Amino acid sequence: MNRDQEQPPVDADSMLSVSTDEEVFDTLSLSADSISMSDEVRDYVYENSRRYHKYQEGRYHFPNDDAEQEREDMQHAMFMLLCDSKLHFAPLENPRSILDIGTGTGIWAIEMGDEYPDAEILGIDLSPIQPLWVPRNVQFMVDNIEEEWLQPANSLDYVHARQMASTIRDWPALMGEVFKALKPGGWFELQDLKCGIECDDDTMREDDLVAEFLGKIAEAMKILGVDCLGALEMYEQWLRDAGFINIKRIMLKAPLGTWPKDPQQSKIGLYSRNMMYDGLHGFAIRPFTHGYDWTPEEVEVYLVNVRKAVLRSKAHIYLPFYCVYAQKPPEPAAARSR
């Protein structure tokens, strides 16, 4: 396995309100059912005190309410620390068209818009929770990426998917769509935290409750049709099967807790612990009630001890963070010269 700042201020002229249908980027569109952010799609489903997406209800089993959005932004900050402020690992060269799959709050797409001001960036998600004021070159759209794409072939320079292992049901089909939509030489990058903890010494007990909790989440998601652990093991094979080349895999370790002696790693551990603690209810409530048929009260009782375990753990545990990126084969020189 290879292992291969502060955002500058953005002046008011570089910001633009969410566009109307006519302003949606001509070359960046997905399925026939996609809905631009200007349409009336801000409807939600409420269940067990949490808010979920209404558009194609049930495709995504985690909430989209304010608490979850704050957790996602904290998670992004943790990723930036972990990745040395890199928004991507794929070797991009002057990209002009970028697609962010499962954009969430849109924070990654917005920062990419600042980093690549000449690129057009489209973020898609089932939930219309992105901000109304964004850089001029950034657009958001509500869509289900697992339906057939209408994205023109050979039109994208880069496709990014972060934390999607717990969402996608048919990865080979999605990778086929990404491959078709990418320009020759374009890149596809996947980034995911594993739904499980690991330890490189003997400080983690066999009955570690945090490990048990994440295992229960993964199993519940499998019951609901999403194999989030199996996907991480299969990314490279699926990419090869789709036709990608130059496949690279990076694994980084996100400490869970402040146990590392290195100040930077300890800060990452603080972020990841808070991110997990704040997310426990959102992670568990729908997978456990829908996957295991637990009552909401049973979930709450179980989470009491999980919360204590997250805060009190002294084990040297970490969440593996995987990044896999791959390239669509470039055009042969002879074809480019025609």
In this prediction, residue 54 carries a pLDDT of 79
What is d(CA 42, CA 230) in angstroms, rounded to the nearest whole number? 33
Query: What one-letter code names the amino acid at 246?
Result: N
User: What's the residue count for the chain?
Assistant: 338
DSSP string computed for 241-286: HHT-EEEEEEEEEEESSS--SSHHHHHHHHHHHHHHHHHHHHHHHH
Q: Locate 285 and state its tokens.
A: 């409530």
Helix ranges restricted to H, the chain: 66-82, 107-115, 171-181, 209-223, 228-242, 263-286, 296-312, 333-336
Question: Domain coordinates of the chain in residue numbers?
Answer: 12-193+226-251+318-336
Looking at CATH, the fold of the domain delimited by 12-193+226-251+318-336 is given as: Rossmann fold (3.40.50)
What's the predicted TM-score (pTM) here?
A: 0.87
What is d(CA 254, CA 323) in angstroms, rounded to the nearest whole number? 13
Q: What is the pLDDT of residues 63-106, one digit of tens each?
A: 888 999 999 999 999 999 999 999 999 999 999 999 999 999 99
Contact in structure between 318 and 255 (CB atoms under 8 Å):
yes
Residue 58 pLDDT exceeds 50: yes
Q: Which of 18-22, 124-128, 276-280, 292-296 has the lowest mean pLDDT?
A: 18-22
DSSP string computed for 122-166: EEEESS--S-SEEETTEEEEE--TTSPP-PPTT-EEEEEEES-TT
